[in-house]
Each structure stands twice: as C-alpha cells, then as structure tokens.
Chain A
C-alpha cells in the first residue's frame, strides 16, 4: 500500500492520455454491462407477456398456415380447457402506403375476456366488445401512438383481404407495451361473405387451461387429437410462442455479445498501447529506480498496478454509467414512454456489476503485464548507457 500514492501520481503524469484511455475502457464496460442484461431482459420481457396457463395451438407447418375453423370447438371440448378463442391476422393498415404499423386480429369476442382474464380489461369494454359487431379493443401502446381514445371510430384497410373496415373503439388493453388491435371474427366473416368469400379457417387458437400443472399433458392431448388430420397442430405455451417469435432477436443478441467480446479485446490492445507508451517514456526513470535499489518485482508490480488501477476505476465508472442508463430507461417507461418496450426490462444486476469489475481488472492485468515485464527485466546498466 505504501507504493499506492506513487502509482496514483504516475497515473496523473499524462492526464489527457489517462482520461482518454479510461473513457475508452469505461464506455466498453458500459456497453458490455448493457449487453449482458439482454438475455435476462428478454426472459423478463417474455415472462411479462406470457401467462403460465395460456397456450397457443397453430399449424405444425408454421403460424402463417391456417387451420380448419372446426378445430376451435374441438379444443374447447378438451377437459381442462377453460376457454378458447381464435386469432386471425387481418394485416390492417391505417395508411396502406406506410404498411402495417401494429398487429391486428379478428377474434372470438365471447371467450376473449376468459382467455385474457389476466389483462384486466374493463368489464364494460368486454361487454361492448361482445355486443357491437364493429367493436374493437386496442392495446394502450397503439392508442397512445395514434392519439386514439375510447369511442373513436377508425378504419383499417386489410393488406391480406383487400377490404376496408371501420371500427368503434370500445376499450383498451391496459398495458403500456401492448400494441394489439382486436375486433370480432364475425365482422370479418360477414364482410368477406358479402364479397362471396367463405371464411372457414382460423390462424391460431389461444386457450386457457384450468391448472398450470396440466398444461403439458393437455398440449400433448390436443396435438394427438389432430394427428393425421388435414391440419396437424403444434401446441406451445405462451412464453415459448413469444420466445420463438423473438428467436431471431436472440440470434442478434448472441452476435452482439460476440461483438462485445471483440470490443473488450480491442480495449485490451488500446490499454496495452497506453501502458507501453507510458513505460517507454519513463525508461530512464525506471532505470534510476532500479539503480537506487528497486527490485524487479517492485518495478513490475507498480507498473502493473498503474494499468490495473486505471482500468478498474474506469470499469467502475462504466458500470455506473450502465446502471444510470438502464435506470433512466425504466424511469422513462414508467412516465409513459411505452415505445421503449422490452428495453425497460433490462436491469444491471449486482452479478453483472461484479462481472464488469472483473473484466476491467482483467483488462488491466492483460494490458499491463507485458510492458511491466519488459521494463522490469531490462538491464539497468544497458538502459543507462542507451538513455543517458
């Protein structure tokens, strides 16, 4: 510890260089911290979306393939299924030129409230949703984004069926992150029938199970029921459904984590360069220290300590930056910035902070090792001859 003031004074020798190197390390560590929150954040996000008693049943070939409408009644008849509805992608756009800006589905209104009882939709809204053929229930994120309110009449033009339907908004899904738009299946069926198009299929069935422990066997039972039929099914939990929906995002997260690793490696080289420059500039001073009796071990340790102290302090600053940034995101979300979406679930945990400090310490060790070793091994007489 008696060498610590000496180490700190040497760090302040070239303040700009130390500051720039520390900034590079701090930003890299902040980046790594934020990226490290992503897998857990994704999981938290999926958990926040998903219920443990809700399952989806879709065509085994993929969610874009339809199933016969008769399957809905068969699923409802399975013991343990409390309620089931169908989802049918409408692909509606406010302005077709701008494309679909929020997901919209034609659904069965009768069981809608039972399947999504955990969404806390107002009873009056559910009542109106069942009562009015043109009723729509809209997620709050889309309501806010489009400045809609309950009672507004809006129109969507389908990019799938080529028809335009008008809706009366009767309620909202009270979740800041919910973008969906739901309307009655019958409304769509009648509009298509008017054009002479039959509508006897469905996209996905969503069912609520009475007991979380029975979810797995019921899913197996349903898939078995439709085996060797005209449309074999694949059932999965809601979390799994959204998980596969966000599967590509997880791939991106993996790539980002690899990039973060490469960034860390680059920072090691930057810090090593700084340490080398610092040692090179002081080769004469280091020779003098050796001359007055500083052993190789002390020279090595003090030089290495400079790199480690700089890196660890910068790493701590980077960890604090990431902590502040993610707290700010959560705070923004709680004040109504719904479009921040899943980012608000990304929390820098204590474990991530400890990992960040460890990585920063590691950067210091690796970057300082070789320059410190070289300086400590250099012959004092040879250095004095070369330098003076």
Chain B
C-alpha cells in the first residue's frame, strides 16, 4: 500500500535548516494498522504528511496505492487525497456551523453523487462509528470522543483505502481514547483499511500491528505491535 524510499524533508525556519526526515524508507502492506511513535520533533507528523500527499519530500520516492506521488501536481494530489486518503486530526477539526452528518458529507461534495446519495452514505458512515442518532447535532453539542468519531466517519465516507490519523487520541480521556483505537482497529479488520497513526499514547501499541519509532528524522526501529503479537500467539 505504502512504499517510501530514501525520503528526506528539510524545512527552513528563518536562517535555520530543520532536517525533519533523513533518508527514511518504509513499507506498509495493505490492511495493516501502523503507529508512528517518537518524541516531539522526531519527524513522525512530517512522515505522515508525506505519505498522505499533504507534503512533498525534498528527495526520495513516495508511492501510495500504486500512485507515485512525486509526479503529481497540486490538483492531482488533492484528487488523490479525496479518493484514497481519509484524515483524522487531534483536535477533531469539524466545521462548527455544520451538523455531524453535514460534516461527514463534506468530502462527498467533491464527488458526482446526488444529494440524496451523499446524505445516505454520510448516515451509513455515522452508523459505522456508532453515532447514527447524533447526525443532526452540531459539533459543540457532542463530546470530545463523539467529535472524534464524527471525524473518523468523515475519513471513511469516501471509502478511502488509507486512513491517516495525527494524534487521534491526544485530546481524549482514557476511555474515549481506547474506544477510538478500537474503532480504528475495527476499520482495519472488518473493512480492510490500511491505518497509519501518529501517537505519543503508549496505549496505542496494543491495538496496532506495527510500531515504527522515529527520532530526529531517522527511522530507528520497527517492531510488532500488540495486535500482531496477539495474532501470533
């Protein structure tokens, strides 16, 4: 699903050069649940942005779902993201003036689906994340966990093959965090999604197939997560 070869990414902040990624290579097969972990500034969010088509590397090759992202224009990258990638962010990032179902429907505006089909799919996605009854609620009327579920529904509504989540449990209490991680694992297991998350949360390890450790832009270690160990045992 994801092939990253010798990717480097350098930022300029004033006169300083920040090497966010240094010749990182990574392979994630389809249907895997992977966690990118490491301290702040280790490059894990940058790696997530690069593999999701949000950012471009200075060097190296990125291939996702058979598409070589280096060759794509800005508009082609937008189209790639719209069809192939579902995004979940730490702070839920729902549009506050839209109801839950309208937020989920948002990515479908980019398709040619009719209004009725868009609404039907959005309601189905909300049902998958267990919020079928909360569709008409505005984000401020939902709890943090519920908002993150809506964000996940928005990520899966286009039936994207790849789900990426940047600190999806970062703003949640322990109970909600567990539920979100469980939901992501269900999406991987039951719907065949490839899931890549960036997290500081050590609890995430038991839900994922693989944990990838980064530090100072370098990929230090790849080891099996709790889900893989559980499957092996």
Contacts and interface: CB of A to CB of B under 8 A. Distances in A.
Interface of A: 2-3, 6, 9-10, 12-13, 284-285, 288-298, 380-381, 384-385, 388
Interface stretch (B31-39, B87-95, B188-196, B218-226): B87-95
B52 to A, nearest CB: 8
Contact of B54 (A3, A6, A296, A381): A381
B75 interface: yes
B115 A288 contact: no
B96 A13 contact: yes
Contacts, number: 68
Interface in B208-225: none
B142 to A, nearest CB: 17
Contacts of B106: 6, 289, 292
B107 interface: yes
B97 A292 contact: no
Contact of A295 (B75, B96, B97): B75
Given A13-B96, A292-B154, A6 B91 contact: no
B93 A285 contact: yes
Interface in B20-73: 45, 49, 52, 54-55
B110 A293 contact: yes
A284 B107 CA distance: 16
B173 interface: no
A11 to B, nearest CB: 9
Contacts of B97: 9-10, 12-13
Given A291-B54, A388-B90, A296 B166 contact: no
13 contacts: A2-B109, A3-B109, A6-B98, A9-B95, A9-B97, A284-B91, A291-B81, A297-B75, A298-B110, A380-B55, A384-B49, A388-B89, A388-B166
Contacts of A290: 78
Given A9-B97, A384-B89, 6 more contacts: A3-B109, A12-B97, A13-B97, A293-B79, A294-B82, A296-B78
A381 B154 contact: no
Pairs A-B, 3 closest by C-beta atoms: A293-B82, A381-B55, A9-B97
B83 A293 contact: yes
Interface of B: 45, 49, 52, 54-55, 74-75, 78-79, 81-83, 86-87, 89-91, 93, 95-98, 102, 106-107, 109-110, 115, 154, 166
A2 B96 CA distance: 19
B93 A284 contact: yes
A285 B75 CA distance: 19
> Considering residues B78, B89, B90, which has the most beta carbons from chain A within 10 angstroms of its beta carbon?
B78
A285 B91 CA distance: 11
A157 B179 CA distance: 98
Contacts of A10: 97
B93 A296 contact: no
Given A291-B81, A384-B54, A296 B75 contact: yes
Report which residue of A3, A297, A388 has the largest number of chain B beta carbons within 10 angstroms of its beta carbon.
A388
B113 to A, nearest CB: 10
A385 B40 CA distance: 12
A292 B107 contact: yes
A294 B95 CA distance: 14
Contacts of B115: 2
Nearest to B97: A9
A270 B110 CA distance: 32
A291 B90 CA distance: 14
B74 A296 contact: yes
A292 B106 CA distance: 9
A289 B89 CA distance: 12
B106 to A, nearest CB: 7
Nearest to B81: A293
Nearest to B76: A295
A321 B201 CA distance: 60
A295 B80 CA distance: 11
B114 to A, nearest CB: 10
A6 B45 CA distance: 30
B87 A292 contact: yes
Contacts of B90: 388
A290 B96 CA distance: 17
A384 B78 CA distance: 15
Contact of B49 (A3, A13, A284, A381): A381
A6 B96 CA distance: 12
Nearest to B157: A292
A289 B95 CA distance: 9
A314 B82 CA distance: 35
A187 B178 CA distance: 109
Nearest to A385: B45
Contacts of B107: 292-293
A9 B115 CA distance: 17
Nearest to B109: A2
A215 to B, nearest CB: 67
B87 A294 contact: no
Nearest to A302: B109
Contacts of B96: 13
Contacts of A388: 89-91, 166
